[in-house]
Structure 1
């Protein structure tokens, strides 16, 4: 049987894993890297975009946050759709749309054109991402699954961390005027190659079958989307909407999300397939892991936001120099994620606790380094603490992914993975908004170094809250073991 025939042939859940599973994983990881990279790679391109398209600040904000917002809103229904209609099919559709949207971003002739293209690109990335964790659940078992999730965790960690460096290299090579377009055009050859390989290597979903629109819970999608949108808007628009009236959307978001939970419970009682299986949150490992990663990404992604602003605007680094200064975090995260994937089955959640402690110490060291080495030398002083924080990050993202999904049935892997990653995107948006607002409040009065310090304190607070969640899981697990 050829590789393509093997990919098309349905496989029962109890059959041996396919021989091409590691090649298929490689396709998934490259596509995942590409979609997650676009969360952060745009940051260093914003000055070029502003001058090239005469873009106002509000549109620049949407170029960054609009992608994450659309990405997060699509994740859960995309996971459900993949479970129902076939993960390979949804993966390929999302990847094709992402490639086309990247071309549209690169060809943009106005800021409105770019913002709309970024929204479409984010939605397409949201279609792809939950299929990856679901395919890992489907293709691997036991220790191999831990290794596979370890590799995926490496991709998640590095993709966000290495974005500024790759963006800086592209802009340096293509020039400040048009270099920002290649931040998007670079996705085109990668997307085309992944599409060809995905068709040949990715397996079908064994229990996939045609479904009606009603069975995808469209009303639940609307309620969830409206709730998440109402929650994110006041943070995403914090600089554009003055005053505190915007935060009235937060209780509105709480009401919409409460209505979503009530609707999902109603669906479960009536026998209709809900968008999110709320029974997943009865699993301690799942709900605590989801909370942990939401809080951690609020602190994790905001590090690069304030670091890039401080290095480029405060110390007048070029985009490439700023990217190089942050590279130790990416290197440490990638190195430790592979180790974490191998050790997670042995040490469990305490491994995540160790990682969070390392991140906290590293960020505190970064704040101290700016005080001890002021001026342009601060970039060198940041290398060691950011390396320590990166090593800790690799022990957080990959092991947490494995532990959080460890008790989830394969039939719900797409929805569970989508919910988990929605938490990451929501956390990223809230963290960047919270840290950014503190950062900008201190720039004018206290200077760039002081603003960087205050921003890092907020990041550390988010990481500390994630540490509390991890410790709660460890304590609860030990009590359960004694019982």
Structure 2
């Protein structure tokens, strides 16, 4: 069975397999935000200090980001189904270990393992979609992925608040992790039955680029560590890691070129970067995630610390964005085939308008009624986010060969993780600096969101530049795609 035949041959089972992938994506992405509202409960239950709590959050993000690209390549080489099942089993076991942890140090270690397992699962989803779907069906599948990204990010604080309220402030944090157990077991059983095996690769079996993994991992670690620890590591010395990261990533690039010239399998096929749709989509995703994910960071802090909202109330306040994101992503999956990059431009514009509406709501409606006033702008921003994430993912991966789909998906998600960490570092610094100097949570939120809008407008400029370039010179990439299909 060839790669092109593998998808249609699965018939309706493809959509059930997609549901399995989406459920796992929801679970792993939920754990990036559900833990935030449980931090006070952890502090009381484990007597954890601020450094421990910081690593509960940042350790997951770091491990997640480090594993994505090698995990995607591993799935391409050894089978996406097998990599998915392994990662899901590890994630479920690590979730149980987190919930049972008897000390803060153990919790941090198990969170690192949980993040690495999530990074093993995540790129298999995009690889399996590339393998199972083609054309408009692939766009609709990525539309559903976009719905899951937006919904899981926004609903995390609500889910955490509900669990803390149901199980108490002392041990309620444990159920933030225990909730993954029935989901993980159910998804694992369904995946065994529904997920397809990867088509056999023609020719010799490719090796795994271990030195490439080490260079890329060290480079990404040096890049992300000062970003995710920006608030916890005082002083400027931490930024000395950024030139180290640049040197390591350059060494990785040089090594990958060397591997390619010697006809050895690289970790990342550098020819992917000759595809304008791929590299520009990855950069656009990095920049956009730097703006959009910061919303929940500063907005939740504002509501809980500034307006004295409970964890549950703060979670409920994020629901309009989640609802809008689901609706926008569903529409984006249908419309991207017709409108292409123009749809992403509309999405970014709508997100910016929505966030400006939130800023206006905070200005005009002081006090605890602010969440009600911000509900409609958040709904608008969510719709725009759905019209951005899933169409951009579809366009970014549209010309990637299926045999490289896992590694390419891992690279795209690594860009998203780096973007999120960078955005939170920048917007968080603006938020906390203004709060410290002026003592006004509302003004600090407004300035933080204005910074986020500025980042999103940078993504909008990239999207406009890409659209203009496509209209001016549409043929080269078409020829490149035809040559790839021919080989």
Residue correspondences, number: 473
Aligned-residue CA RMSD in angstroms? 1.6
Which secondary structure does the structure 1 equivalent of 2:265 belong to? Answer: coil
CA contact (8 A) 1:336 1:392 kept: yes
The structure 1 residue matched to 2:241, chosen from 246, 249, 254, is 249
CA contact (8 A) 1:355 1:394 kept: yes
Moved more, 338-347 or 166-175: 166-175
Residues in 1 aligned to 2:204 and 2:180: alpha-carbon distance in whole angstroms = 32
Instruction: Supply the distance in 2 between the matched residues of 1:358 and 1:50 (Cα, whole angstroms).
Output: 39
Alpha-carbon spacing, 1:450–1:191, altered in 2? closer, same or farther (3 Å): same
Mapped pair 1:200 → 2:193: yes
Q: Which residue number corresponds to residue 27 of structure 1?
A: 20
Q: 2:260, 2:154 → 1: CA distance?
A: 40
Q: Secondary structure at 2:4's aligned position in 1?
A: coil
Aligned to 1:232: 224
Task: Name the CA shift for 1:482/1:11 in 2 (closer, same or farther; >3 Å).
Answer: closer
1:473 aligned to which of 457, 460, 466: 466
Aligned partner of residue 259 in structure 1, secondary structure:
helix
SS of 2:213 mapped into structure 1: helix
Segments of structure 2 that go 5 or more residues without pairing to the other structure are: 477-487
Aligned equivalent of 2:415: 423
Q: How does 1:253-292 map to 2 (within 5 A)?
A: 253-292=245-284
Aligned to 1:324: 316
User: Could you tell me how far 1:239 is from its partner in structure 2?
Assistant: 2.1
1:55-134 to structure 2, matched below 5 A, reads 55-134=48-127
Q: CA deviation at 1:110?
A: 1.4
CA shift, 1:258, in A, is 0.7
Q: Using the TM superposition, name which of 300-309 and 435-444 deviates more.
A: 435-444
Distance, in Å, in 2 between the alignment partners of 1:444 and 1:269 is 54
**Which residue in the other structure is 1:158 paired with?**
151
1:452 deviates by 0.9
Distance 1:42 1:235 in 2: 19
Whether the 8 Å CA contact 1:42–1:64 is kept in 2: the answer is yes
Secondary structure class of the residue paired with 2:32: coil
TM-score (norm 2): 0.94
User: After TM superposition, which residue ranges in structure 1, 4 or more long, deviate above 3 angstroms?
Assistant: 10-13, 208-212
Contact persistence 2:87–2:118 (CA under 8 A) = yes
Which residue is 1:7 aligned to?
none
1:85–1:211 Cα contact (<8 Å) kept: no
Distance 1:135 1:470, change over 3 A: same
Q: Distance in 2 between matches of 1:359 and 1:121?
A: 31
Aligned 1:304-323 pairs, distance under 5 A = 304-323=296-315
- Distance verdict in 2 for CA 1:286–1:240, change over 3 Å: same
Q: Deviations over 1:71-116 (max 9, x none)?
A: 1110000000001001000000000000000001111111111111
Q: Which residue of 1 aligns with 2:166?
A: 173
CA positional deviation for 1:178 = 1.4
Q: Answer yes or no: is the 8 Å Cα contact 2:323–2:382 preserved in 1.
A: yes
CA distance in 1, matches of 2:329, 2:363: 30
| Whole-angstrom CA distance in 2 between matches of 1:70 and 1:11 | 34
The question of whether the paired residues in 2 share the 8 Å contact of 1:67 and 1:123 is answered with yes
**Cα–Cα, structure 1 residues 228 and 83, in superposed 2: closer, same or farther, change >3 Å?**
same
In the alignment, is the contact (CA less than 8 A) between 2:28 and 2:118 conserved in 1? yes
Cα deviation for residue 17 of structure 1 reads 3.1
Shifted more, 158-167 versus 201-210: the winner is 201-210
Q: Distance in 2 between matches of 1:56 and 1:458?
A: 30
Answer yes or no: is the 8 Å Cα contact 1:84–1:210 preserved in 2.
no
Q: Distance in 1 between matches of 2:40 and 2:427?
A: 20
What SS is found at the alignment partner of 2:293? helix
Partner residue, 1:14: 5
Partner residue in 2 for 1:353: 345
Alignment match, 2:430: 438
Task: Report the alpha carbon displacement of residue 283 of structure 1 after superposing the two structures with TM.
Answer: 0.7
Task: Please tell me whether the aligned partners of residues 3 and 131 of structure 2 are also in contact (alpha carbons under 8 angstroms).
Answer: no
Give the conservation status (yes or no) of the 8 Å contact 1:153–1:394. Answer: yes
Q: Tell me the CA shift for residue 207 of structure 1.
A: 2.2
